[in-house]
């Protein structure tokens, strides 16, 4: 596979892409800590499965974060979404895709932005959100001083009624940042509005359970199943929406 550092992150193309075969694309959105080696490896794994993958660098370079909650509360969602849109547009223009569809996959706050992107951005055909934070009214992203709506116009629980593409949302039932009540609220709204979506909750798993660099959080069995579920979903949805 071919790996290139580009202005938006790390681009990984499957072997033969653009020469002997077209392939669908995936924009991969990392957690709060940005484009670490873990997400570069995830991008390579996706490319190994036939997806041209852009692992997004959400900050455009190294950044120091001392208080993740405060950092995220003070970060502009519209600016973050603009960078996701630029990544979708960039990936769509790659020769390897040749008009093939693009999906978004995100982890933690990246999962939040994947969900928001699936409700408002153009050029996206499917969304997978791993333990994306759903609410700004409580928890890590709640600001006791009051939300700045210029920075945080709406959270996924508010945006999900406008979901535009098939969704796979994956959580653990021991997630300290995504309470089960939020997951159930998401599920209820999706059912009420008739959106195409699947929600999977892994028992005994907490936040970041796919992160193999964090032994206390990593749950190998759940991680393997979730990864396989994601691949099956992306193959089904991105193939189904590909031009004939």
Residue 95 pLDDT greater than 90, yes or no: no
Burial call 50-70: b when 16+ CB within 10 Å, e when fewer: bbbbbbbbbbeeeeeeeeeee
Per-residue pLDDT, 96: 85
Q: Using one digit for the tens of pLDDT, what is the confidence trace for 123-150?
A: 999 999 999 999 999 999 999 999 999 9
Domain annotation for the chain: domains and CATH numbers: 2-240 (3.40.50.1820)
Residue 43 pLDDT greater than 90, yes or no: yes
Strand order in the sheet with 197-202: 2-6, 9-13, 52-56, 25-29, 102-107, 126-130, 167-172, 197-202
CB proximity list for 80: less than 8 A, separation 6 or greater: 58, 113
- Which pLDDT band holds residue 18 (cuts at 50, 70, 90)? low
φ/ψ of residue 117, rounded to 5: -60, -40
Per-residue pLDDT, 240: 73
The arithmetic mean of pLDDT across residues 225-239, rounded, is 96
Per-residue pLDDT, 1: 82
Per-residue pLDDT, 3: 87
Per-residue pLDDT, 19: 54
Q: Using one digit for the tens of pLDDT, what is the confidence trace for 180-194?
A: 999 999 999 999 999
Per-residue pLDDT, 99: 85
């Amino acid at each position: 596979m071919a790996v290139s550092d580009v202005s938006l992150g790390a681009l990984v193309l499957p072997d033969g892409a653009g020469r002997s075969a077209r392939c669908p694309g995936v924009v991969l959105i990392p957690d709060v800590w940005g484009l670490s080696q873990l997400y570069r490896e995830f991008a390579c794994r996706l490319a190994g499965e036939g997806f041209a993958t852009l692992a997004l660098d959400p900050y455009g370079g190294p950044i120091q974060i001392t208080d993740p909650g405060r950092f995220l509360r003070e970060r502009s969602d519209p600016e973050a979404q603009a960078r996701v849109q630029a990544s979708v547009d960039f990936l769509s223009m790659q020769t390897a895709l040749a008009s093939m569809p693009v999906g978004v996959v995100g982890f933690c706050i990246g999962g939040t932005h994947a969900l928001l992107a699936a409700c408002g951005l153009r050029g996206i055909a499917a969304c997978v959100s791993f333990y994306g934070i759903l609410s700004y009214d409580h928890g890590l992203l709640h600001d006791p001083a009051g939300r700045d709506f210029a920075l945080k116009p709406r959270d996924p629980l508010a945006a999900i009624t406008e979901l535009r593409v098939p969704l796979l949302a994956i959580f653990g039932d021991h997630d300290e940042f995504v309470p089960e009540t939020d997951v159930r609220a998401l599920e209820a709204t999706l059912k009420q509005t008739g959106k195409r979506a699947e929600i999977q909750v892994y028992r005994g798993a907490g936040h970041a359970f796919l992160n193999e660099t964090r032994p206390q959080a990593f749950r190998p069995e759940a991680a393997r199943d979730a990864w396989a579920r994601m691949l099956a979903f992306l193959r089904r949805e991105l193939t189904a929406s590909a031009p004939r």
